[in-house]
Structure 1
């Protein structure tokens, strides 16, 4: 429809300009313009001059006149923030923003002074620490070298886990520091628990609105879904898992072992899911039926009562909801606080009192929901009210132990069964005991691929690689070597592996031996801690081979470490530091003596 002077508040020149430009606008540009005009407060005509020119009321003070340039920085350990940052970048590009998307580790912090709009997406690692690729930027921002940022508008999305004491601490630190340096918030920081999809989508919408794009057409409904899928993309994701058939479920440990390690081979046929070495497989587990039944009995509930499990109104029986949809084995302080609001339990309120933080921390570390119900004599809480405050059961991530080039349409994982007794009751890993006791070949599991760009094979196939993976930490290196076998990579490879006993706990022994024989694996050093009077671990083997290991590092070797982050990773890091210090000092003397 042509705009005319007689049917609009525009003069002839303005009408002609609009008639020329409006037909050329794309749908996205039209949405942007509509959102921009809608976002302006007080757009009604305040007066009309004798020439027919409309005068608009001043823009409200709270509308941000922002640049079209947006910098998105992510700090990610397992890839979640990376994925969210890419989704945000894609949405803003569709709205004609100019986007700089970067890992914090790749961003040059000296350029921060020039940034006008900054979006931070960051997870919290370990005990409130930044993820590895965020450390340099984090340290710069908290140093005296950090510039004043009075012209900066920013917003922070923080990912974490409420079962940890320092929930979302890294995101909180970034948010506080950017404000201290003079930055102004585009929108408030959002802290996400393990089930982050809805919260992240709300944050994205808030940011888009603050950037002047408040329109229904630009709303992000779910960060886990895409609009139009290309032929290479899968419809299955973290929020829409693929129900995959289990092909094999084997115990890798020998008879007499104190451990049980399951090797699962899972079909991805028909899913269009793709992975690379270093990625992880997410599995949505089920709670143990016995624990579910005991919890229902302790609370005096009816197992067949219908309860709402989602904001969209989906309903399931109470037993089904507790079995497959809600987490009941992990306690958090926010959960205890919400339960306290539903009951008058003196024991629970005592536990939550200020000054009892140490006792609460200990309680949360080794109790589950049934313990809480029994210890605090919780009763008379309606089932619907109770489940409405539980968080969704999160997927468990396992390093992929196969190369898709070796096993097309399959994915393999290595899972150690966790089972022990505590407080007079049997305890177990939710997913590992399900895989051990209740999953057989032919059953299906809801799965998704978790891409991890921080743990990838070197792009140069000739580069040496050093792999350190005791126990199930060796899983991704089976994937690495399978991939290098298929691609014909020529670089040297060295594996450090450890477990308890050589005879019963040597995972994938025949495969390592075959790869050694064929030259795919150049060197292998093992440490079986219970086979000698003195316990020997992988870090001890590294120190024994420190001269050769240092030489590999000098040749540009990539070092990969996978396993227990609380102890093993620190011990390995300390061993590497010792090797670098000692060999770097002695190397010049050796050169002079030649």
Structure 2
């Protein structure tokens, strides 16, 4: 009996066959120890079971999909994109069929057919939209923007930095304009500061509790929560180890740019990265700066204070948890003071005097210390288990005193080889090499902007890519500021680097920058574009990136025999095709 039972069960498959869906099916073998009546009864039983199973499976397949939700983002560093993907996971648990896309992937008119839209928009530079939101933003703000009906339910979450005058300018403009054009704002704009976690989480929860979203979800089947994200992220960093640090400048340089090598051993696949990604890194404040701040405020550092994470001592909070430099509107409001001068730091406010300032009031006027993002300058194919950075130390004078950057000097001198630092991978969806290794690549990265292009060249070398590579690099002096000189020379000799155009701004009577070389070699530059080249730009956003953009437009106009507007349309088309990509800051 046991032997025959096993045979019978082995014949049963999920869903049955076409024959098993028609009338009584012969499940019971003829040689089984049953008479005809028993065999017919068992065949009827199994046929009934299969019918029930098939109908249940069919019902599951035909179940109505969740309500459509469009999630759009404008992101420069990757934060808004990362939050959008988190929002999609959350939306699915609420019964929505959510999609995620860049703002520039659609035109404003496309929103007219969307009933539920959530937007996460970062503000970049001096109150400007990010590269992947500019076209949408400009079209939405134009006089030709379409009208919307109240069936377009939307809410906007902005990402910005309150220390800048144009705080969350882009999100505010998009939010106001959508409402002005007739769309239904279901939840007011949430303008997140650099410490965005709590505000974003509150907005996310609140939106799905609004009437428009609750009614839309209705009886839709909520999806099971997706698998959790990576084990290591901004709030759960991996503890990396500093392996090596060396200065890339020669003696006599006015700059200090360090090559940093960190070990990711033991991090597993959550720390796998691609060239073009960035590394998030948690710095520690300089102990000397903490002491100066304590002295200026009349504190010992032993005072007990309460943070969101719990109670701690003031000195510990100032060392590792709080931004002790940046003055924000919240600082001025909490302490009831004014800036003693433009660009004043926290220590300057304390030295000027803050009446009745307690240790708890001090920490409540400071924003949380935030991680820094650095372009990765290594290929994982060449440096397994490691990640490399190219970091320029920041030193300057303000109000008659020497100041310095927190993270750049932490990596440059205070963190010692063998020391530990918290890190995570900030993935980029747009700043990556083309999958086609035969395509030519143009890389424009003066100063520390060379970082991702060292990684690109290492990657193309390891992949044995046969596409041509053209590097534009520049700095102050060739003798002292030629970063990665030996590696670039080797790549030129072995043919990996097809062209290297180098600009030294302080070596001649006239200052020469990379944008000048783009124009002087404009004919060849345009030939590369016509051959399918992908342009990458990395570095300073305040001047360099715009100067390079204008130079490229002039090259297209001159050597492509186009008008100014036609050249702009040509470059816009390259951008939409992901053939003009920027990692600027």
Does 2:240 align with 1:244?
yes
Q: How does 1:184-263 map to 2 (within 5 A)?
A: 184-210=184-210, 211-212=213-214, 228-229=227-228, 234-263=230-259
2: distance between equivalents of 1:115 and 1:519? 51
CA shift for structure 1 position 145 = 3.0
Does 2:505 align with 1:529?
yes
Does 2:480 align with 1:504?
yes
**Structure 2 unaligned blocks of 5 or more:** 1-51, 58-65, 218-224, 564-585
Does 2:520 align with 1:518?
no
Q: How does 1:118-129 map to 2 (within 5 A)?
A: 118-129=117-128
CA shift for structure 1 position 480 = 0.6
2: distance between equivalents of 1:504 and 1:520? 24
2: distance between equivalents of 1:137 and 1:533? 43
Match of 2:408 among 413, 429, 432: 432
CA shift for structure 1 position 234 = 3.5
Query: Which residue is 2:98 aligned to?
Result: 99
Q: Which whole-Å deviations, capped at 9, do the CAs of 1:289-341 have from their partners, x for residues lacking one? A: 1121111112112311221222x4x222111101111111111233212221x
Does 2:436 align with 1:460?
yes
Query: Which residue is 1:160 aligned to?
Result: 160
Query: Which residue is 2:525 aligned to?
Result: 549
Match of 1:372 among 349, 362, 365: 349
Classify the secondary structure of the residue corresponding to 2:443: strand
Q: Which whole-Å deviations, capped at 9, do the CAs of 1:351-396 have from their partners, x for residues lacking one? A: 6xxxxxxxx8xx343x210111112x11431101220231111111
Does 2:530 align with 1:568?
no
TM-score (norm 2): 0.81
Q: How does 1:93-492 map to 2 (within 5 A)?
A: 93-150=92-149, 151-210=151-210, 211-212=213-214, 228-229=227-228, 234-272=230-268, 273-310=271-308, 312=309, 314-340=310-336, 348=337, 363-365=341-343, 367-375=344-352, 377-492=353-468
CA shift for structure 1 position 573 = 1.3
Query: Which residue is 1:42 aligned to?
Result: none
Q: Which whole-Å deviations, capped at 9, do the CAs of 1:115-144 have from their partners, x for residues lacking one? A: 111101110011111101111111221223
Q: How does 1:30-49 map to 2 (within 5 A)?
A: none
CA shift for structure 1 position 76 = 0.8
Classify the secondary structure of the residue corresponding to 1:411: strand
Classify the secondary structure of the residue corresponding to 2:242: strand
Q: Relative to structure 2, which stretch is displaced further, 137-146 or 284-293? A: 137-146
Classify the secondary structure of the residue corresponding to 1:415: strand
2: distance between equivalents of 1:77 and 1:165? 19
2: distance between equivalents of 1:456 and 1:339? 45
Query: Which residue is 1:221 aligned to?
Result: none
Classify the secondary structure of the residue corresponding to 2:83: helix
Q: Which whole-Å deviations, capped at 9, do the CAs of 1:431-470 have from their partners, x for residues lacking one? A: 1112222112101111111112231112222111110111
TM-score (norm 1): 0.79
CA shift for structure 1 position 214 = 12
2: distance between equivalents of 1:586 and 1:200? 45
2: distance between equivalents of 1:533 and 1:186? 60
Classify the secondary structure of the residue corresponding to 1:394: coil
2: distance between equivalents of 1:85 and 1:227? 15
* Pair 1:379–1:287, CA change in 2 (3 A): farther
2: distance between equivalents of 1:457 and 1:335? 43
CA contact (8 A) 1:299 1:379 kept: no
CA shift for structure 1 position 227 = 7.2
Q: Relative to structure 2, which stretch is displaced further, 118-127 or 525-534? A: 525-534
CA contact (8 A) 1:417 1:436 kept: yes
Q: Which whole-Å deviations, capped at 9, do the CAs of 1:542-587 have from their partners, x for residues lacking one? A: 1111110111111121111111111111211121111111112289
Q: How does 1:21-36 map to 2 (within 5 A)?
A: none
CA contact (8 A) 2:335 2:361 kept: no
2: distance between equivalents of 1:227 and 1:327? 34
Q: Which whole-Å deviations, capped at 9, do the CAs of 1:169-200 have from their partners, x for residues lacking one? A: 11101110111011112222111111111111
Query: Which residue is 2:72 aligned to?
Result: 73
Q: Please give the root-mean-square deviation of Cα atoms over the aligned residues, in Å.
A: 2.7
Classify the secondary structure of the residue corresponding to 1:71: strand
CA contact (8 A) 1:208 1:214 kept: no
The structure number with the bigger radius of gyration is: 2
1: distance between equivalents of 2:72 and 2:394? 37
1: distance between equivalents of 2:142 and 2:505? 43
Does 2:561 align with 1:585?
yes
CA contact (8 A) 1:244 1:446 kept: yes
2: distance between equivalents of 1:214 and 1:392? 37
CA contact (8 A) 1:307 1:384 kept: yes
1: distance between equivalents of 2:116 and 2:517? 49
* Pair 1:205–1:240, CA change in 2 (3 A): same
CA contact (8 A) 1:300 1:379 kept: no
Query: Which residue is 2:220 aligned to?
Result: none
Classify the secondary structure of the residue corresponding to 1:552: helix
Classify the secondary structure of the residue corresponding to 1:547: helix
CA contact (8 A) 1:77 1:454 kept: no
CA contact (8 A) 2:249 2:480 kept: yes
Q: Relative to structure 2, which stretch is displaced further, 139-148 or 239-248? A: 139-148
* Number of residue pairs the alignment of both structures matches: 496
Query: Which residue is 1:220 aligned to?
Result: none
2: distance between equivalents of 1:319 and 1:214? 50
Query: Which residue is 2:515 aligned to?
Result: 539
Classify the secondary structure of the residue corresponding to 1:69: strand
Q: Which whole-Å deviations, capped at 9, do the CAs of 1:199-247 have from their partners, x for residues lacking one? A: 11111111122222999xxxxxxxxxx9744xxx641101111111000
2: distance between equivalents of 1:281 and 1:305? 34
Q: Which whole-Å deviations, capped at 9, do the CAs of 1:484-505 have from their partners, x for residues lacking one? A: 1111221111001101111211
